[in-house]
Amino acid sequence: MDLKLDHHSEDNLTIVDVEGEIDVYTAPRLRELLIDLVNKGNFHLLVNMEKVDFLDSTGLGVLVGGLKRVRAHDGSLELVCTQERILKIFRITGLTKVFGIYASVDEAKEAHGRDK
């Protein structure tokens, strides 16, 4: 499956919906979207990965790059993910300690609201 990307804003949060496979072929598109969002002043990003079928280290690198960019503006990049096979790669690489990972968009929005 190819990669489908969509995004919308709710209050101060930009939700990025990702569907499909994030790998060496498709990750540049996600990277471009994250850079574009940051360049347009969206510094609080929530990447919804509930429909992601596959994620490799290239995709992880893109997410880390996005995190570095939003942090440069005191922003945040958090994730929604409950799929064990996706969470596993975050655990192997120790990135569960780097990203806020939530079970749902609502849970993330609630946490984001508390942090504001």
Binding site for other proteins (CB under 8 A): 21, 23-25, 28, 31, 54, 56-58, 60-62, 64-65, 68, 85, 88-89, 92-93
Cβ of residue 112: shortest distance to other proteins, in angstroms? 24
Residue number, 95 or 105, with CB nearest to other proteins: 95
Residue number, 28 or 113, with CB nearest to other proteins: 28
The DSSP symbol for 13 reads E
Residue number, 66 or 108, with CB nearest to other proteins: 66
Whether the CB-CB separation of 2 and 20 falls below 8 Å is answered with yes
CA distance 51 to 22: 11
82, containing H or E segment: none
